[in-house]
Structure 1
Amino acid sequence: MRLSRRSLMGLAGASAGALLLGACSDDATDPDGAQTVNWWHIQNTEPMLSVWAAMAREYEAARGNLKVEIQPLENEAFKAKLTTATQAGSPPDLFQSWGGGVLRQQVEAGLVKDLTADVQPWIGNLLPVSVEPFTIDGKIYGIPFDVGMVGFWYNKDLFTRAGVAAVPTTWTEFLAAVSRIKAAGITPIALAGKEKWPAHFYWSYLAMRIGGPTALQQAGTDANFDTPDLVAAGTRLKELVDLAPFQKDFLGADYSSPDGQAATMVNGGAAMELMGQWAPSVQASLSADKKGLGDKLGFFPFPAVDGGKGTVSDVFGGGNGFAVGRDAPSATVDFLRALLEAGNQRKSAATGAVLPTVRDAVDAIADPNGKAVAASLAAATGFQLYLDQAYPPALGQQVNDSVAELVAGSKTPEQVVKDITTVAKNQ
């Protein structure tokens, strides 16, 4: 799924209004008459763990007849638990979603609510690009609270120590920087090889840089990934892999564990990581002082590829949002509205962990790196949603698996696209 080509931080003009929903006769209630909303999310570390909890408690106090039962989960644990729940036909009332092909399957299975009519009084307050991954066939099935992009986060001190004076703007410059960093005795890149999805960022970006912003969308539409541009993406990624740039035992590393990708980065074990806008907050949560790298942390977009059809203004990323389960009590949508109020979005933005989707909260981004990400989004000429969310789940998983095999050295670039195409043709 590729979002429309336009300024990605364009603002809608409709003003917000309050949405007050009464309880339906079939709503689940506790013996004391309160509705209960089961809320699953993946902000299981600070700062957002306590921010979400505080918002829930504030809403409960204001409403008086609602209980929010929160279940924070680590990303992979969440996906596994949600799969079990949806296969059983029992999704939680409010749960994390990235939109795209996964949400489409949930829609087609009748597992989530159509929110289109309910959110009309206030949906105009959100940045249009943030809503698009949650819009299926013209109807809204999820609400985003965060929007951003994947890029390189780097340790300025380690770059300086290695003699890398400027961030790379081309793939050739990037490979040269990796070689120079490694020659200085510093691990160039931290990677969570075990979880696979972080590696697919590299192949996806290279596909966009080489084939242009429509290359991956077209491959999904045609069910054909066996094209010269996508083979070339794997070939360029192999150039990086051949430099052995990742930390020791990276194939067994998780993303957010105490010895995983983010921890390796924040503790000075690597000079870079390719990750989304949430990277600084995850790094901070895994640092001894809970402050992360601070001023030592910098950000730069994924480099251009010489001769490619894409540019650095074509971005890869997406948003975090929430979908509402089909049997959720009516108060769930009003609680979701409260989470997206400008005041609450400003609180989220102030943590540095969220790039807000509400237009009136965008100016609350204080972190310079957050501002850099927002500026890149504002200048974007094309946008591609994460492939493991944009495509149907089986196809997205195959992308992750195949790229992981390339990074591990067990598959060639040609084998990667053939394996992905085989699954695509069976969707």
Structure 2
Amino acid sequence: MKRSLVLFVAAVLLTGCGGGGGGASEEGGAPSKVTIEWWHLSTAEPLKTLWAERAKEFMAQNPNVTIKATVLENDAYKAKLTTITQSGKAPDIFATWGGGVLQQQIDAGLVKDISADVADVLPTFTPASLSAYQFDGKTYGLPTDIGLVGFWYNKKLFEKAGITEPPATWSAYLEDVKKLKAAGITPIALAGKEKWPGHYYWAYLALRIAGLEGLKQAATDHDFTKPDFLAASQQVKALADLQPFQKGFLGAAYSTPDGQAATVSNGKAAMELMGQWAPATQKDAGKGLGDDLGFFPFPAVEGGKGSASDAFGGGGGLAVGADAPPEALQFVKYMTAMENHSKAVVAGGVLPVLKGEETSVKDPNLKQVASLLAEASGYQLYLDQAYPPAVGAQVNDSVAELIAGTKTPEQVGQAITEVAKSEG
């Protein structure tokens, strides 16, 4: 099926720490010892184990190489990476969401242009998965995952509330939230402490109401006070006013045993708005819903300028630090080779980034995500990665305050605009 992909990115900051030296031969012709610093945030199974296995295999095949992995959860990863990059360093290999974040790292001279080195394997990747890591015809990373954000829900709890099918429109979604509450069911789990999960609601509503062009225009004119953005904030407030989230959500994390993923996984909330990694994180953090777990895309907003088939989300990839040894790039290529990467697809840890991997997707919900992605009319990267760092942080902060009731819809647009103009 033909895919029209519109990937909107703008400048952003965030990156990685210093390299491990070259692999020149020692006396006698043996390769010199090389240590590769690899940072990633795959703390949940199956990727936690799978990535460790790939590193172990690579080291067995390359006895002179030691891969030292630093594995952190999302917020800790971002914080540590920001601290390191502010010192002008980057890890030899580091996880990246691509887009504007990666562009800023490139501009800072922290990322290696790997175009020539990966020219032989580029044709094996899908264009959509590569797009976030390519700028001005050059490649600065290889993808390991791609997907979109949507609602993961408990079929039994929906049935208990008398909901016979997932909502197709935002007004129907709000009505379903009311039905769940009326049935004594907590409708939504939210990691209010971490803020980024909350920004998904505002971002998707902005995408549905203002459309991709509206978000693209805002990156240029730095104006988030327009009626469409105000409407997005008003709809987030309309949702928050229903008090749909679990008790204590403002202090809840995402992947902890009492966090957002576990709350859904343990049947204590009916749904969460999350990316393609949700099933794996739910299973890792809680009991898991098994066949009772379902998925539906973010609903259409009546009268909105955006298409219901426009997707919001992103993937994950691996970038190579500017000072990394050649062995670092060899490991990135090893990780993304079909025979290795497809194991992660089969295990349900990631979605296909290589042509022909589609048949490796076994989970029915992930098959649906892959299908929606293939049919997407447009694609919007996470706003806290697409916009400049201060702007992305302000989006997260303002939406969190809106949900908590300490900011009005008008103040949200004003706050983001003020930061955007100062950055622009």
**TM-score interval (norm. to shorter):** over 0.9
8 Å CA contact 2:177, 2:187 repeated in 1: yes
Partner of 2:162: 163
Q: Quick one: distance in 1 between partners of 2:399 and 2:384? A: 12
Q: Quick one: distance in 2 between partners of 1:253 and 1:200? A: 15
**Aligned runs of 1:251-266 on 2, under 5 Å?**
251-266=250-265
Q: Quick one: distance in 2 between partners of 1:398 and 1:217? A: 17
Letter in 1 for 2:63: G
8 Å CA contact 1:402, 1:416 repeated in 2: yes
User: Is residue 317 of structure 2 the alignment partner of residue 306 of structure 1?
Assistant: no
Letter in 1 for 2:60: A
Shift of residue 240, structure 1, vs aligned partner: 0.5
Q: Secondary structure at the match of 1:235?
A: helix
**Aligned runs of 1:93-172 on 2, under 5 Å?**
93-172=92-171
Letter in 2 for 1:6: S
Q: Secondary structure at the match of 1:320?
A: strand
**Aligned runs of 1:125-274 on 2, under 5 Å?**
125-274=124-273
Q: Secondary structure at the match of 2:218?
A: helix
Q: Secondary structure at the match of 1:213?
A: helix
Provide Cα deviations, 1:36-77, integer angstroms capped at 9, x if missing partner: 111111011211111001111111112232211111111111
**Aligned runs of 1:10-409 on 2, under 5 Å?**
25=24, 33-288=32-287, 292-409=288-405
Letter in 2 for 1:395: V
Q: Quick one: distance in 1 between partners of 2:152 and 2:376? A: 19
Q: Secondary structure at the match of 2:212?
A: coil
Provide Cα deviations, 1:335-359, integer angstroms capped at 9, x if missing partner: 1001011111210001112002111
**Stretches of structure 1 lacking an aligned partner (at least 5 in a row):** 9-21
Q: Secondary structure at the match of 2:318?
A: strand
Q: Quick one: distance in 2 between partners of 1:45 and 1:150? A: 18
Q: Quick one: distance in 1 between partners of 2:172 and 2:25? A: 61
Q: Quick one: distance in 2 between partners of 1:336 and 1:419? A: 40
Q: Quick one: distance in 2 between partners of 1:26 and 1:87? A: 33
Letter in 2 for 1:340: T
Q: Secondary structure at the match of 2:356?
A: helix
Q: Quick one: distance in 1 between partners of 2:103 and 2:144? A: 19
Select the residue among 4, 7, 13 that pairs with 1:6.
4
Q: Quick one: distance in 2 between partners of 1:320 and 1:25? A: 31
Normalization by structure 1: what TM-score? 0.92
Shift of residue 7, structure 1, vs aligned partner: 5.6
Q: Secondary structure at the match of 1:50?
A: helix
Farther-moved stretch of structure 1 (58-67 vs 112-121):
58-67
Shift of residue 141, structure 1, vs aligned partner: 1.4
Farther-moved stretch of structure 1 (136-145 vs 73-82):
136-145
8 Å CA contact 1:98, 1:133 repeated in 2: yes
8 Å CA contact 1:7, 1:379 repeated in 2: no
Normalization by structure 2: what TM-score? 0.93
8 Å CA contact 1:253, 1:260 repeated in 2: yes
Q: Quick one: distance in 1 between partners of 2:108 and 2:134? A: 16
8 Å CA contact 1:7, 1:378 repeated in 2: no
Shift of residue 32, structure 1, vs aligned partner: 8.0
Farther-moved stretch of structure 1 (105-114 vs 145-154):
105-114
Q: Quick one: distance in 1 between partners of 2:252 and 2:320? A: 33
Q: Quick one: distance in 1 between partners of 2:24 and 2:316? A: 31
Shift of residue 285, structure 1, vs aligned partner: 0.3
Shift of residue 24, structure 1, vs aligned partner: 5.4
Shift of residue 210, structure 1, vs aligned partner: 0.9
Partner of 2:16: none
Q: Quick one: distance in 1 between partners of 2:71 and 2:118? A: 25
8 Å CA contact 1:345, 1:361 repeated in 2: no
Shift of residue 331, structure 1, vs aligned partner: 0.9
Shift of residue 134, structure 1, vs aligned partner: 1.3
Partner of 1:17: none
Q: Quick one: distance in 1 between partners of 2:338 and 2:31? A: 32
Shift of residue 422, structure 1, vs aligned partner: 0.7
Aligned length: 406
Q: Secondary structure at the match of 1:308?
A: coil
Q: Quick one: distance in 2 between partners of 1:283 and 1:60? A: 31
8 Å CA contact 1:192, 1:253 repeated in 2: yes
Shift of residue 362, structure 1, vs aligned partner: 2.2
Shift of residue 119, structure 1, vs aligned partner: 1.0
8 Å CA contact 2:199, 2:395 repeated in 1: yes
Q: Quick one: distance in 1 between partners of 2:408 and 2:132? A: 32
Farther-moved stretch of structure 1 (376-385 vs 99-108):
99-108
Q: Secondary structure at the match of 1:212?
A: helix
Question: Structure 1 residues 249 and 369 mapped into 2: Cα distance closer, same or farther (>3 Å)?
Answer: same
Provide Cα deviations, 1:352-410, integer angstroms capped at 9, x if missing partner: 12002111222101000010000001110011000000111111111111111111111
Letter in 2 for 1:226: T
Provide Cα deviations, 1:239-284, integer angstroms capped at 9, x if missing partner: 1111000000101110011111001110011000000000000000
Displacement over 6 Å in runs of 4+: none
C-alpha RMSD of matched pairs (Å): 1.9
Q: Quick one: distance in 1 between partners of 2:186 and 2:360? A: 35
Q: Quick one: distance in 1 between partners of 2:104 and 2:350? A: 27
